[in-house]
Chain A
Amino acid sequence: MSRIRPELESLDRHLRDAFRRAELPAAPSRLRSQVAALPAVASGRAGQGRSRRLRWRRPAALLTLVAAAAVVAVVAGALPLLQGQPQPGQATPTPSRSASSRTPSPGLSSQPVVIGSDGGAVLEDGPSITWTTIALSQFGSNMVGAVGAARVGGTMVVAANDTFMSDTKPVVIESTDGTRWSRVPTDGPEFAHALLDSLVAIPGGLLLVGESLDPDPLCADGAAGCMPVRATLMWRSSDGQTWQLLPTRTTAPFDRVWIASIAAGPKGLVAFGLHYPVVGSPENVVFHSPDGTSWSSAAFPYQSSESPVVLVQQVIATSAGFVAVSGGGADEATAWYSADGLSWKRASTPGGSTDPAMQAAAGSDGMVAYSDKLWVSADGRTWHIADTPPYFYGSSWIAGDGTQIMVISGQSVYQYVYWSQDGKTWHRGDSTPALPGVSIGAGGSAWILGSTVIAVGQEQERASPQNLYVGRIEGH
């Protein structure tokens, strides 16, 4: 058997070559005939009642599906009730709503439905949220995907990319009421050959962060083990309508850097990135700016156990500074904190989780991080596992704006929205209508903009185009 040659130094190029020369098998004739037997294909036209005429290759699959559906139905019905059940060491809760009732109680209860040993509680007095679905495909092709949302004055702005085929184009849309959205012109030279990555609010306006689609001149085609990196681009706007590309001297600190996460708050902006030198190992770096127009950088002095860099999944702004969370692979989920955005310390965390999908959100009096468990912290320095987490089930996701933390949790027929300022005491309301089967991406796919929540997701069939789900917070 062949072995790796020492001269195999450009992995990038060799992978391309290897896949190019690979002789892959065609679909077996058995599979081809099974697919051809599907009614629409066999008859040359679509039939009605597709689901009824579906042919399952294995009858057992249908039985398994039915059994699984039954189990899910039982569990789904029981879990919301279980949440209202007294847990060992907890006070007796007030009766909770049944799973079949989605009508808000006449007079929300401020009595806790769950009390935790750490002093946390879940109350039933939270504001509900009402959703409107905005199809992003109306602003381009079916391949429009949003990357960020922020507010400037009374205008909400969403940044996206239309990645139809290889013809990627930036898309920026704006709205004042959350229901009527219009596209902001992005066909000028300032947006040529650009890809948008994120959008944050800065003093006096908004900052778009993206990258040039032009090839890396120093590292074309992965030469000599070099990782191609695209040039960082930034645009500034005072109103969300007109955008100015910032000069290269502003983005010069980001030379050969991939920006992984960015956050803005009272202490300015922080961006985490990976610096890829043309020769040598990549380094984890962190950047800080007071206003987005001038940036300072520092090395991030922590390493992953499995590679020369550590990759921060998400950085969030807090009232005292910034918190970053990471995890995945062989590394346990971890948090760091910083007051100035450049000097970072490792937080005391519960450990034990290796789930890479780490999300974080900050309220006015505390913050949470979530992978497979919900962590809570008052200051970002010391974290513990929440004793009364919101009812995380189904496609749970969290968002925060430094004032409120929001968790949407539940499944297609029964969904709650939880609000908290400290991550310990949660106020539960309804999510109406429940977002059926909507899969919200983790970590930075939902934003709280004043009295509006904007989330990005798809319908249950995950191949469907992206939608914006614009939620109006009741009572605001």
Chain B
Amino acid sequence: MTSIENQADEQLERLVSGGLDRAYRLAGLILGNAADAEDVAHDAVVRAWQSAGLLRDPAAFEAWFDRIVVNACRDRIRRNRRVSFVLLGPDDDRPIADPFQALFDHDEALRLIRCLDPDERVVVVLHYWADLPLTDVAVRLGWPVGTVKTRLHRALEAMRDEMGVEINGKVASR
């Protein structure tokens, strides 16, 4: 076994101790539900484990693994052609077991993410939750920076539009 593989395996062990939570949360925020997040986080770890030898720079582990998680999420979305966000009405107070759905249901800013298409949602989560500059988002997605910018812009426009709808809807319902 090469020293590179050794380093990679050390990284994977570290992943189990800490990075797994990040992967699970990142997947949950992108996919909107815990079940898919769990599947994708597991698949991402397996993918990372299979290709750990490709990672020549251990310091770049987080970006490398983020990218695997994001790609796994996008693959999942493409396969499912859906994201399991559950839209609840304003008076719907059913108990919610899924922690990610609960988060999106009860936070007035985060619920807007539901209106985004998958690529827009990925950019928003990486930029605002992971607190990454757009250049780093571009690296993780393998897109040109310009594409990331346009996706983010579209996302913010869509959410602002959605805000308008909700505000108007609230006024109309009074």
Mark interface residues in B105-121 (1 if CB within 8 Å of A CB, else 0).
11111101000010100
Which of A4-12, A183-191, A402-410 binds B? A4-12
B28 in the interface (beta carbon within 8 A): yes
**Does A195 reach chain B (CB closer than 8 Å)?**
yes
Q: Which residues of B contact A137 (CB under 8 A)?
A: 56-57
Contact A142 B55 (CB under 8 A): yes
Given pairs A1-B105, A4-B108, A161-B135, 6 additional interface contacts (CB within 8 A): A32-B16, A141-B60, A164-B59, A195-B135, A308-B157, A443-B147
B56 pairs with A35, CB closer than 8 A:
no
B106 touches A1 (CB 8 A): yes
A461 touches B47 (CB 8 A): yes
Q: Are A261 and B146 in contact (CB under 8 A)?
A: yes
- Decide yes or no whether A475 CB sits under 8 A from chain B: no
A44-52, A74-82, A339-347, A426-434 - the one binding chain B: A44-52
Given contacts A4-B166, A27-B20, A462-B142, contact A142 B135 (CB under 8 A): no
| Residues of B with C-beta under 8 A to A14 | 109
Q: Compute how far the CA of A261 lies from the CA of B144 in the bound complex, rounded to whole angstroms.
A: 10
Are A19 and B60 closer than 8 Å at their CB atoms?
no
- Give the residues from 36 to 53 in chain B that come closer than 8 angstroms, CB to CB, to chain A: 38-39, 41-42, 45-52
Residues 161-183 of A, flagged 1 when their CB comes within 8 A of B and 0 if not, give 10111101000000000000000
Q: Shortest beta-carbon distance, B139 to chain A, in Å?
A: 5
Report yes or no: A46 in contact with B110, Cβ–Cβ below 8 A. no
Question: Is A463's CB under 8 angstroms from B1's CB?
Answer: no
How many chain A residues touch B (CB < 8 A): the figure is: 82
Select A197's contact among B8, B21, B24, B146, beta carbons within 8 Å: B146
- Is A464's CB under 8 angstroms from B91's CB? no
CB of A40 within 8 Å of the partner chain: yes
Say if the beta carbon of A143 comes within 8 Å of chain B: yes
Which residue of B has the minimal Cβ distance to A12? Answer: B156
* Cα distance A8–B163 in the bound complex, in angstroms: 8
B149 CB to nearest chain A CB (Å): 5
Q: Residues of B within 8 Å of A, CB-based: how many? A: 87
Contact indicator B136/A166 (Cβ below 8 Å): yes
Bound-state CA distance A23–B107 (Å) is 11
A260 touches B166 (CB 8 A): no
The answer to whether A45 and B50 touch across the interface, beta carbons within 8 angstroms, is no
Given the known A-B contacts A32-B16, A163-B139, are A27 and B56 also in contact in the complex, defined by CB atoms under 8 Å?
no
Q: What is B's interface to A at a CB cutoff of 8 Å? A: 1, 5-6, 8-9, 12-13, 15-16, 20-21, 23-25, 28-29, 34, 38-39, 41-42, 45-52, 54-57, 59-60, 63-65, 67-68, 71, 88, 90-93, 99-100, 103, 105-110, 112, 117, 119, 124, 128-129, 131, 133, 135-136, 138-139, 142-147, 149-150, 153-154, 156-161, 163, 166-167, 170
Chain B residues in 8 Å Cβ range of A5: 108
B156, A51: Cβ atoms closer than 8 Å: no
Complex contact B160–A11 (CB within 8 A): yes
Q: B107 to chain A: which residues have CB within 8 Å?
A: 2, 18, 22
- Cβ-neighbour of B161 out of A3, A35, A307 (below 8 A): A307
User: Which B residue's beta carbon lies closest to that of A15?
Assistant: B128
- With A147-B145, A163-B135 already in contact, the answer to whether A40 and B109 are too (CB < 8 A) is no
A3-B166, A25-B25 known; A8 vs B56 contact (CB < 8 Å) = no
Top 5 A-B residue pairs of the complex, sorted by shortest distance between their CB atoms: A307-B157, A18-B109, A27-B24, A19-B129, A46-B9
Q: Which residues of B contact A282 (CB under 8 A)?
A: 153
Contacts of A439 in B (CB 8 A): 142
- The answer for the CA separation of A161 and B100 in the assembled complex, in Å, is 35
16 inter-chain pairs at a CB distance below 8 angstroms, sorted by A residue, are A1-B88, A3-B108, A11-B112, A16-B128, A16-B131, A23-B103, A25-B34, A31-B24, A38-B46, A46-B52, A50-B50, A163-B136, A197-B144, A259-B146, A307-B157, A462-B71
**Contact yes or no, A31 B38, CB < 8 A:** yes
B108 to chain A, nearest CB (A): 5
| A-side contacts of B145, CB under 8 Å | 147, 161, 195, 197
Most B-side CB within 10 Å, residue of A1, A51, A282, A329: A1
Q: Is the interface of A mostly helix, strand, loop or mixed?
A: loop
Is A41 on the interface with B (CB-CB < 8 A)? Answer: yes
Which of A46, A163, A197, A329 sits near B5, CB closer than 8 Å? A46
A145-B138, A307-B161 known; A465-B56 Cβ under 8 A: yes
* Beta-carbon contact of B99 and A24 below 8 Å: yes
- Neighbouring B residues of A26 by C-beta, 8 Å: 21, 24
Task: Give the residue name and chain of the B residue nearest to A161 (CB).
Answer: B135
In the assembly, what is the distance between CA of A19 and CA of B90, in Å? 22
Contact for A28 among B5, B38, B55, B138, CB less than 8 A: B38
Residues of B within 8 A of A27 (CB): 20-21, 23-24, 38, 41
Does A458 have its Cβ within 8 Å of any Cβ on chain B? yes
Q: Which of A142, A145, A198 contacts B56 (CB 8 A)?
A: A142
B17 nearest CB across to chain A (Å): 9
With a cutoff of 8 Å between Cβ atoms, the chain B residues found around residue A168 in the complex are 133, 135
A430 to B13, CA, bound (A): 44
What is the chain B residue whose CB lies nearest that of A262?
Answer: B146
B46 closest partner in A (C-beta): A54
Q: How far is the CA of A50 from the CA of B12 in the complex (A)?
A: 14
* Contact residues in B for A308 (Cβ distance below 8 Å): 157
Chain A residues numbered 423-476 whose CB sits less than 8 Å from any CB in chain B = 439, 441, 443-445, 458-459, 461-466
Distance A40 CA – B45 CA, assembled complex (angstroms): 12
In the complex, chain A residues whose CB is within 8 Å of the CB of B52: 40, 46
Partner of B156, one of A227, A260, A306, A444: A227
Chain B residue contacts of A197, Cβ below 8 A: 144-146
With A40-B9, A141-B57: A463-B51 Cβ-Cβ less than 8 Å: yes
- Once the chains bind, are B109 and A25 in contact (CB under 8 Å)? no
Contact B54 A11 (CB under 8 A): no
A242-277 with Cβ < 8 A to chain B: 258-261, 274
Contact A35 B28 (CB under 8 A): no
